[in-house]
Amino acid sequence: MTQIRGFVRASRRPGDLGVHSVDHFNLTVPDLKQAEAFYGAFGLDLRPEGQGLGLYTRGHPHRWGTIAEGPKKKLTYMSFGAFEDDFPQFRARLQEHGIAQLDPPRGFESNGLWFRDPDGILLEIRVAEKSSPSEKSPVSNDPMTSGTQRAPARSAAGITRPRRLAHILVFVSDVGRAIEFYSRVIGLRLSDRSGDGVAFMHGVHGSDHHMVAMAKSNAPGLHHLSWDVGSVHEVGLGAMQMADRGFSAGWGLGRHVLGSNYFHYVRDPWGSYSEYSSDIDYIPANFDWDAGDHPGDDAFYVWGPVPPQDFTFNYEAA
Ligand SMILES: [Fe+2]
């Protein structure tokens, strides 16, 4: 069933300056064919655009990411979407804080504000439609019927196609400093953290529990891209479809504590991950979420297999 899901009225919290969405990201990878095979198997739609690929989800008009060829796999930048009338204030804020405004990278010309976070991660704020959800994304469960088989035959199960980009988790060298910067400059808010190990941040204009998360490493890098799917069934089905195509390494099925989402992470060809995520907590625009600091061993996951030993290893920096 195909639905157009892109046109939901944007929610907004008046009087608060903050980005409303992760608009898109750009990755470079050494071999575009490898990216096409991986993200295609994952259930995303890839379209040739310029020298690279655009990443889309079926039935949604938004372009969530672009992939270009480069010497090694790298998260080139994250682009945040802002409301048009907020844009001049973001420009003023960068000036006020003495943050150098940069030219866009070659081939990515746009009218956005380009600058770097304290770890050197390239960021953009641009005027864009709100692509983050303005209400909790629906979750479908099997109907509550008796006397019938509710699971499909394996041959009839179909494949998982994510509905949208959910969040991006990046490595940073100092989680506390990143929280401070992304709050003060981008206008994100802390949802929850585990000491100096990991932090989860949401948008003030209504977003999932996290649209960006940061994990401690010795250098910047991409840990995972997370994609929203419609049910736990689809999370499991996605894991199977990836294993069938040779992408069996990863972690899941499990349930996180912070965000409450069900997950399965599939390791990509470059040592980072794409996550199937379902049923994540939602923080409405008019709600002040009570940010907590949670012991890591009690807050990482409620249940699931033991994570791979190198799950939090930063291969991008290696
Ligand atoms: Fe995640």
Ligand 1 is a single-atom ion; what residues have CB below 5 A from it?
226, 275
Q: How far is the CA of 149 from the centre of ligand 1 (A)?
A: 32
Q: How far is the CA of 262 from the centre of ligand 1 (A)?
A: 9
Q: What are residue 107's phi and psi, to 5 degrees?
A: 90, -5
**What percentage of residues in the chain have a pLDDT greater than 90?**
93
| Alpha carbons 43 and 238: distance in angstroms, whole number | 8
Quickly list H helices, the chain. 32-42, 87-96, 175-181, 232-244, 296-299
Q: How far is the CA of 214 from the centre of ligand 1 (A)?
A: 10
Q: How far is CA 60 from CA 6, 21, 240, 255, in A?
A: 5, 15, 24, 26
Q: How far is the CA of 255 from the centre of ligand 1 (A)?
A: 11
Q: How far is the CA of 224 from the centre of ligand 1 (A)?
A: 7
Q: How far is the CA of 277 from the centre of ligand 1 (A)?
A: 7
Over residues 192-222, the pLDDT tens digits come to 999 999 999 999 999 999 999 999 999 999 9
Q: How far is the CA of 201 from the centre of ligand 1 (A)?
A: 12
| Average confidence (pLDDT) over 231-247 | 98
Q: How far is the CA of 257 from the centre of ligand 1 (A)?
A: 11
Over residues 215-236, the pLDDT tens digits come to 999 999 999 999 999 999 999 9
| Alpha carbons 76 and 1: distance in angstroms, whole number | 34
Over residues 81-102, the pLDDT tens digits come to 999 999 999 999 999 999 999 9
Q: What is the pLDDT of residue 2?
A: 43
Q: What is the pLDDT of residue 8?
A: 59
> Which residues have C-beta within 8 Å of that of residue 88, sequence separation ≥ 6?
none
Q: How far is CA 294 from CA 73, 196, 208, 252, 287, in A?
A: 32, 10, 19, 22, 21
Worst-scoring range by mean pLDDT, 106-110, 157-161, 243-247?
Answer: 106-110
Q: How far is the CA of 228 from the centre of ligand 1 (A)?
A: 10
Q: Is the pLDDT of residue 300 over 90?
A: yes
Q: How far is the CA of 145 from the centre of ligand 1 (A)?
A: 32
Q: Using alpha carbons, select from 126, 201, 138 the residue that is nearest to residue 169.
A: 201
> Which residues have C-beta within 8 Å of that of residue 14, sequence separation ≥ 6?
none
Mean pLDDT, all residues of the chain: 95
Q: Using alpha carbons, select from 244, 243, 230, 238 the residue that is nearest to residue 264.
A: 238
Global pTM reads: 0.96
